Structure 1
Amino acid sequence: MFPTPIAKTSRSWQITYQSILPLALIMWLLPLLAVALFSIKPDSDFSTGNYWGWPSSFEGFTNYGKVFLESNMPRYLLNSLLITIPTVVGAVALSCMAGFALGVYRFKGNLLIFFMFIAGNFVPFQILMVPVRDLTIGMNLYDTKTGLVLFHIAFQTGFCTLFMRNFIRALPFPLIEAARVEGVAEWRIFWYVVLPLMKPALAALAVLIFTFIWNDYFWAVVLTQGPDAQPVTAGITEFNSQYRAAYHLMSAGSIVAALPPVAMFFLMQKHFIAGLTLGAVK
């Protein structure tokens, strides 16, 4: 039913695996390495067709200086923070309460509501482009950070609730029953009993949602225009002009845009892995 561990396979297959793994890793990292290489090249290399060769001159400080000092990149980064952080807080907070209600209480329609949360995750988000855009225009939220935050919270809460509900169902229910016997109010049970036990799940979910929202490009283009509200993923296209694209600056901007989620993962790596593997081994 499960794949055989590599350590238990034949020696010939182990050698084959060890030979293929570095090649697969290089192929996976090749686009990232290419972007990093492009970010330190001068603009003349792209004009002369030197796409994959060694840079004719090192222009890393110049390119990154232009990204930070001669463009709206700092503003786009700030917009991304102002969009991502409230979204993470809102989606995680709502999903904790919804997951607690669906995971602890037994009431008519529990499974139906839970099914609706799950079904929302299977709706292709592309078909929502026109109605969501019209809705934001009708509510005067188009091209605003508030509109993006509210939409992302609504769209991510379904997945977050699925995650939290299943996590809460795995918690020891006698703890909740013992608190009820002591006469503890339900909201205090949630705040002082359940929520502290959910810290690994909260960390894992926060990292996932932070990465999802920060890297979102589709809705950033659909629901915003211009530097007033656009996040960094859409702001990188500022380096495209009518007749040509500044690939060296776009590459430098892409590296800058990728740093916050990478830093977020490494800062929360311990809690992230603990949240994903909790309950895997009894």
Structure 2
Amino acid sequence: MTAEPTTGHQRPGNARPRRPGRLARRLGLHAFLMTVSLAFLAPLLLAVYASLRPYDETSEHGYFSLPRTLSLDYYRQAFTDSGMTRYFVNTLLIAVPGVVITLFLASFTAFAVARLGMRGSLTLLMVFTAGNLLPQQVIVTPLYVLFTRVPLPYWMSDSMTLYDSYWAVLAVQVGFQLGFCVFVLANYMRTLPQEILEAAVVDGAGVWTRYWRITLPLCRPALAALGTLQFTWMYNDFLWALVFISDGDKLPVTSALNNLRGQFFTDYNLLAAGSVIVALPTIVVFLLLQRHFIAGLTLGSGKG
């Protein structure tokens, strides 16, 4: 046997020469992503930096000057002066049930639309999707009039109506977020193997078993991504609580920042510290659900 001649231009194995153009495009992409990330993080970083400095120092030297003094005094003052503990509880009473109810109703509706083969499912999905196109501010006045006329027992509302209660804000949040969640979950459920449900039907599984024990566990990435987004949107909402709640003790945490504003003077460094405190829960939720959130954002990216 004779060995085949080799040339000096061949490389061992399957190694391919690295193309300079491809490397340049990759470096350019990373530089672009880093620039965009810094642009989005710049306001938050500036708020954190300002919250650690005295207002007198920044007013004299500017916000972009080097610090002379750094301390956490503004965070302690912001938390105590604004009464954030009560407002945090109010926000959780709206955001946590709102996310749970929205995901449950949306997943059940999406299951019926995508997996049961019911007649008119496409039309129903279009109706839910079209609801997201309606500007929410357009129906503020009709909802206000409606909620003042819907009676509730005293143990549910001090005002004896839906107005000035957590139920009003919760109903609006669930109603407006439901369509988006149904659209996302229905499209994701259509990508699940149909053979799994067919095998469950053969084994005698009912609709509830197919939904709760088979479909929902497979939708965990999508539910985690939607849960993170929904909690962020409901937590940061300020409009609906301001419109439908008149009792200051029931307002969410976003309204606590108003307590840090003076009548004639506003310490913007103190306000920055309060804003950072308010933003912390959403950051914690994202960090806890980060793996599932990223998986949910890349759903279907590997499918042909």
What TM-score, normalized to structure 2? 0.82
Residue equivalent to 1:161: 182
Correspondent of 2:207 among 180, 186, 189: 186
1:86 shift after superposition: 0.4
CA distance in 1, matches of 2:25, 2:241: 46
Q: Find the partner of 1:88 among 69, 83, 99.
A: 99
* 162-171 or 21-30, larger mean C-alpha shift: 21-30
Query: Match of 1:147, as an amino acid?
Result: A
- 1:250, distance to aligned residue in structure 2 (A): 1.3
Amino acid at match of 1:237: N
How far, CA to CA, are the matches of 1:12 and 1:184 in structure 2?
55
More displaced stretch, 269-278 vs 10-19: 10-19
- Counterpart among 38, 41, 48 of residue 36 in structure 1: 48
2:137 corresponds to 1:126: yes
Structure 1 segments unaligned to the other structure (5+ residues): 1-6
Residue 268 of structure 1 and its aligned partner are, at CA, apart by 0.8
Out of 250, 254, 261, which is 1:240 matched to? Answer: 261
Q: Which residue number corresponds to residue 6 of structure 2?
A: none
Residues 203, 272 of structure 1: 8 Å contact kept: yes
How high is the sequence identity, in percent, across the aligned residues?
36
Matching of residue 205 in structure 1 with residue 226 in structure 2: yes
Which entry has the higher C-alpha Rg, 1 or 2? 2
2:117 aligned residue = 106
Between 17-26 and 217-226, the greater mean CA deviation after superposition: 17-26
The residue identity in structure 2 corresponding to 1:87 is G
Within the candidate set 233, 254, 264, 2:275 is matched to: 254
The number of residue pairs the alignment matches comes to 275
Residue in 2 aligned with 1:137?
148
Secondary structure of 2:133's partner? coil
Among 193, 199, 203, the alignment partner of 1:172 is 193
**Cα deviation per residue 1:209-263 (whole Å; 9 max; x = unaligned)?**
1111112222232223454221112221221222222312211111011111111
User: What value does the CA root-mean-square deviation take over the aligned residues?
Assistant: 2.3
2:245 — aligned with what? 224
Change (3 A) 1:8 1:108: farther
Task: Say whether 1:264 aligns with 2:264.
Answer: no
Q: Post-superposition shift, 1:8?
A: 8.3
> Match for 1:52 among 64, 76, 93?
64
In structure 1, distance between residues paired with 2:144 and 2:58: 37
1:177-220 alpha-carbon deviations (Å, 9 max, x no partner)? 12212222111111222122112221111111111111222223
Equivalent-residue separation in structure 2 for 1:184 and 1:25 (angstroms): 48
2:54 corresponds to which letter in structure 1? P
**Given the superposition, is the C-alpha separation of residues 164 and 8 from structure 1 closer, same or farther in structure 2, using an over 3 Å criterion?**
farther
Q: In the TM superposition, what is the alpha-carbon distance from 1:11 to its structure 2 partner?
A: 5.8
* Range with greater deviation from structure 2 (260-269 or 33-42): 33-42
Query: What secondary structure, in the 3-state scheme, does the structure 2 residue paired with 1:228 have?
Result: helix
**Residues 42 and 55, structure 1, Cα contact 8 Å, conserved in 2:** no
Task: From the two aligned structures, give the one with the greater helix fraction.
Answer: 1
Distance 1:23 1:163, change over 3 A: closer
Partner of 1:70: 81
Q: Which residue of 2 aligns with 1:3?
A: none
Tell me what 1:4 maps to: none
How far off its partner does 1:96 sit?
1.0
TM-score between both structures, scaled by the size of structure 1? 0.88
Query: Partner letter of residue 222 of structure 2?
Result: A
CA distance in 1, matches of 2:250, 2:21: 54
> SS at the partner of 1:33?
helix
Deviations 1:116-163 (A, max 9, x none): 100011111121222222223333233322221121111111111111
Specify every segment of 5 or more residues in structure 2 that has no aligned partner in the other structure, as ranges: 1-18, 151-160
Counterpart-to-counterpart distance in 1, 2:119 and 2:35 = 54
